[in-house]
Structure 1
Amino acid sequence: MQKNSMIIIGAGFAGLSAGIYAQMNGYSTQIFELHTLPGGLCTAWKRKGYTVDGCIHWLVGSSPESAMNQFWREVGLAQGREFINLDEFLRYEGSDGRTVVFYSDVDRLEKHLLDLSPKDEPVIREFISGIRMGIRFDQQPTERDSGITKLIKGIKMGWLFLTRGKDMRRWMDTTAEQFANRFQDPLLREAFKEIWYPEFSIFFIMFTFSYLHNHNAGYPIGGSMPLSRALEKRYLELGGQIHYGKKVEKVLVENDRAVGIELADGSQHRAGRVVSAADGHATIFKMLDGKYADEKIKEPYEKWPIFPPLVYVGLGVNNRFENEPKTVSGISFALKQPVEIADQTLERLSVHVYNQDPTLAPDGKTSLTVMIPSSYAYWKEMAKDPVEYEEKKEQIARQVVAMLEQRFPGIGSQVEMVDVATPLTFERYTGNWQGSFEGWLITPQNAGSIMSPMKQTLPGLSNFYLCGQWVEPGGGLPTGVMSARRLLKAVCKEDGRKFITTQA
């Protein structure tokens, strides 16, 4: 068994990126993937000529001038990619006839919010101040910068931390709901709770708008799957191997040292190191039977919230939606009366119209998605009766079309495809814990981990490593690559190697 051999569990963004950086640095790697496709949660699927995109809305690092863009070039994602920057993040249509438009441009957003509610000027100014601070943070040094430029940018970053550190800490400790409750205008209170999740730290919502303003959170034409295929291509070209349809059941351990894996078919594969870029809970508590989980490792899984599981509805519609705004996250509108969807009661519906990307639908038509939070336990119980499970999905498809009819009259006759995925669907194809569509939800409880990333090793177990969203709170595609890069730098340091990178 060669010392420089490495087995990687999972061909999501983190696993593929770990393989890419490992191959760059002279390690021989194999990836074992549960699904038959790359990308993990960065995925999409075809139905009746339409593409249902299960992931991407925006990609931080889309600007060639940003530090993150360098990482995207290293893993082969940025090359030849067309990004578009949309003018609106979200439209929140109130029941009183007014609409809050969360513009990407900070100056336009500030004016619009002040016009809507002059009495909320102090809170609006604070929100805008946080975005402007983030805009300056988004100008970090890159490896392309000259020595003097790096020095100047570094000094500016240090000064920003020194002068705005207290503001950052306060905003990290404030949830979106807490911040929203400070607005006097009920429409703004409601709208700010729907920008992301109410439990989400307002600090990271501010930063999202900073990236949008800087044109550093563009939408990649083609959606999610081309991104995943780009990483797969880069990895294979570097000499890596991927084994699809291979579920890992167990990490093999001898004398507290990881030596390989055992698959669901009973076969065993050995290597000098094992990296899990798969679901954290399954890795720690199933593949390793919880033997290397101390209280610190257990705490997040016992106490931290995760991104809520979803009922994910994709629709194919014979309509261009030319008169509808092109948004990053969609349109939220009030329903005429509450509607029960699975275990949730909805008073509003949010729909993402992909009229910015004609590649996801046949000519003249458009793909839409609707995401509805739903309990994993509810669907787990429902699935005990397969007939009832399928009937519930069909019912939800009809309900969603009926709700959309309220906002888009006549859409019912234009719908050509409806596909419903549940938390169990996400679990089946990605293994993600409780069918969540990401990892840890960033809250005041764990926001500090962003500044101090979680450990990528387990106590008492050598030659085993973790990377991906379960050791990078907040999840998302950038953290997958950053986590993999951080890991391989550490591995190279262990072996006394200089960490190197190349670009495709």
Structure 2
Amino acid sequence: MQDKSILIIGAGFAGLAAGIYAQMNGYRSQIYEMHTLPGGLCTAWKRKGYTIDGCIHWLVGSSPQSASNRIWREVGVAQGREFVNADEYMRYEGADGRTVIFYSNIDRLEQHLIALSPKDEAVIREFTRAVRLGIALDQQPTDQDAPLVKLGKAIRLGWTFLTCRKDLMRWMNTSTDQFVERIQDPLLREAFKSTWPSNFSMIFMAFTFSYLSDQNAGYPIGGSLPMSQALEQRYLGLGGQIHYSQRVEKILVEHDRAVGIRLADGSEVRAGRVISAADGHATIFDMLDGRYTDEKVREPYEKWPVFPSLVYVGLGVNRTFADEPKTVSGISFPLRQPQEIGGEQVERIDAHIFNQDPTLAPPGKTALTVMLTADYAYWKELGRDPAAYTEKKDQIARQIVAALEERFPGIGGQIEMVDVATPLTFERYTGNWKGSFEGFMITPENANVILKPMSQRLPGLENFYMCGQWVEPGGGLPTGIMSGRRLLQAVCKEDNQRFISRAD
């Protein structure tokens, strides 16, 4: 009889999801986490009464009418949570005085963009058709639907896939750069390019706006950490165990079978199965010493681009920003003069004002964040000199405050807290390869993983599995949950038992 014990490495969304579904299906699981908190990259931290949210902007599946909302109810995140649907995704302010407003509602967005650049009407309508296609594909049967309604939705969904497959494939195989080349207006071209990574598949931009327009990508009041804690409580409530401040150094293997883990203190723990929801590179090449790889396993780490590392600046401001719009991703504005910030040439600042969430700041005050892409190698070298590293962080804090003063006059005297996190911060707390915040990007070159997911196994190694963003390119919180769910479905199939999921 198969040993029903499972060890899980990592208490991020994927690891907690794997544990939740393991417990639901009668397995005895334990999670070992290097940090002191659940959630992995979905986290937040407090400074001087302010909460700096390190992750969430929107959550796909937030609408109770959405089929994907079920997974959030299964893992305990949706229950009792308030979501806010902002009218705007982002504002992109140009040096020419014009502003591109990426409205969440697709009809309003289409009208605004065409009014802004009539000569780009054809390409704008092409994009908005892709967004509307995504809305149609999101109309899936739900548990709340009556039988005939379910059948009708299933038929319409199947017909949409059948008739629009070529369009989906075209958008899947088009990068952001390829799309923006067709836009004539320079401001609109810049705005689209800044919204999404240059080599990322456009299908994800289109689908993001589909979810926003359908009010199925709301912001959860309270931000990231309460969601991670809800997952933790769901897992513990099902009888699981979490061991914090326990770094896993090695995965124990005997006769090409995973049998347990060795912790940093030298102690060993054994079980029938081992799941890594930790960093993929560390798992494969450090914990397993690169012994169980082939060309297919190595290719992503050798060739695929990863999401960039970040310099993440959190600020606490004695101001409500009531006169600024509530947005999903913030306001992007140009600097009067480009400048070097943290080793990168910066021409504009993206300020994410959390004026939609009063829980992140004391009354009458507001939390604000600025994200800057960063060169991991630059910070890794700088980190060898602690004094230089600290001074660079202090310099960045001063530069960001000065930059914000250009757009929000008087803010310099209202700032009560500044905190700077670097790629080394992300690496220290999550172990993420190159300090990346979301694993592998999906580009036109590897977009086939959407149709044929990466394997959650390694060649030649039994009783070992992986889940999370390193086997689910594109990343994201729903993907993490679905990755853990998909894995336990496979485990149940191996054991010839029916997979069980339930939303309490």
Fold shared per TM-score above 0.5: yes
2:331 is aligned to 331
Task: Compute the displacement of 1:177 (Å).
Answer: 1.7
1:363 is aligned to 363
Match for 2:478: what amino acid?
Answer: P
Distance 2:195 2:44 in 1: 24
Distance 1:10 1:472 in 2: 16
Structural mapping, 1:68-79, within 5 Å? 68-79=68-79
Structural mapping, 1:306-325, within 5 Å? 306-325=306-325
Task: Compute the displacement of 1:185 (Å).
Answer: 0.6
In the alignment, does 2:165 pair up with 1:162? no
Distance 2:436 2:382 in 1: 17
Secondary structure of the residue aligned to 1:471 is coil
In the alignment, does 2:273 pair up with 1:239? no
Distance 1:2 1:136 in 2: 43
Distance 1:72 1:452 in 2: 24
**After the TM superposition, which of the residue ranges 265-274 and 493-502 deviates more from structure 2?**
493-502
What do the CA deviations read for 1:100-133 (whole angstroms, capped 9, x no partner)? 0000001100100010011111101101100010
Task: Compute the displacement of 1:445 (Å).
Answer: 1.6
What do the CA deviations read for 1:390-447 (whole angstroms, capped 9, x no partner)? 0000000000000001000110000100000000000000011111111111211222
Distance 1:21 1:357 in 2: 31
Task: Compute the displacement of 1:482 (Å).
Answer: 0.3
Secondary structure of the residue aligned to 1:470 is coil
2:123 is aligned to 123
In the alignment, does 2:54 pair up with 1:31? no
Secondary structure of the residue aligned to 1:420 is strand
Distance 1:159 1:85 in 2: 30
1:428 is aligned to 428
> Are 2:90 and 2:331, in contact at CA under 8 Å, matched by a contact in 1?
yes
1:204 is aligned to 204
> Are 2:2 and 2:495, in contact at CA under 8 Å, matched by a contact in 1?
no
Residue 95 and residue 76 in structure 1: after superposition, are their counterparts in 2 closer, same or farther (change >3 A)? same
What do the CA deviations read for 1:283-337 (whole angstroms, capped 9, x no partner)? 0010000100110000001111111000000000000000001000000001100
2:470 is aligned to 470
Task: Compute the displacement of 1:152 (Å).
Answer: 2.4
1:277 is aligned to 277
> Are 1:251 and 1:262, in contact at CA under 8 Å, matched by a contact in 2?
yes
1:265 is aligned to 265
Match for 1:178: what amino acid?
Answer: Q
> Are 1:446 and 1:473, in contact at CA under 8 Å, matched by a contact in 2?
no
**After the TM superposition, which of the residue ranges 144-153 and 358-367 deviates more from structure 2?**
144-153
2:441 is aligned to 441
Task: Compute the displacement of 1:40 (Å).
Answer: 0.2
1:415 is aligned to 415
> Are 1:2 and 1:271, in contact at CA under 8 Å, matched by a contact in 2?
no
1:152 is aligned to 152
2:90 is aligned to 90
Distance 1:149 1:497 in 2: 30
Question: Structure 1 segments of 4 or more deviating over 4 A?
Answer: none
- The aligned length equals 504
1:250 is aligned to 250
Distance 2:468 2:450 in 1: 13
Task: Compute the displacement of 1:155 (Å).
Answer: 2.1
Task: Compute the displacement of 1:26 (Å).
Answer: 0.3
Distance 1:339 1:170 in 2: 38
Match for 1:472: what amino acid?
Answer: E
Match for 1:3: what amino acid?
Answer: D
1:374 is aligned to 374
Identity of counterpart residues, as a percentage?
71
Question: Gapped runs of 5+ residues in structure 2?
Answer: none
> Are 2:9 and 2:15, in contact at CA under 8 Å, matched by a contact in 1?
yes
Distance 1:73 1:214 in 2: 19
2:229 is aligned to 229
Task: Compute the displacement of 1:147 (Å).
Answer: 4.1
Task: Compute the displacement of 1:158 (Å).
Answer: 2.0
Distance 1:229 1:214 in 2: 27
Distance 1:146 1:343 in 2: 57
Secondary structure of the residue aligned to 2:136 is helix
What do the CA deviations read for 1:25-83 (whole angstroms, capped 9, x no partner)? 00000000000000000000000000000000000000011111000000000000000
**After the TM superposition, which of the residue ranges 336-345 and 138-147 deviates more from structure 2?**
138-147
Task: Compute the displacement of 1:143 (Å).
Answer: 4.1
Distance 2:348 2:385 in 1: 30
Secondary structure of the residue aligned to 2:470 is helix
TM-score (normalizing by structure 2): 0.99
Question: Gapped runs of 5+ residues in structure 1?
Answer: none
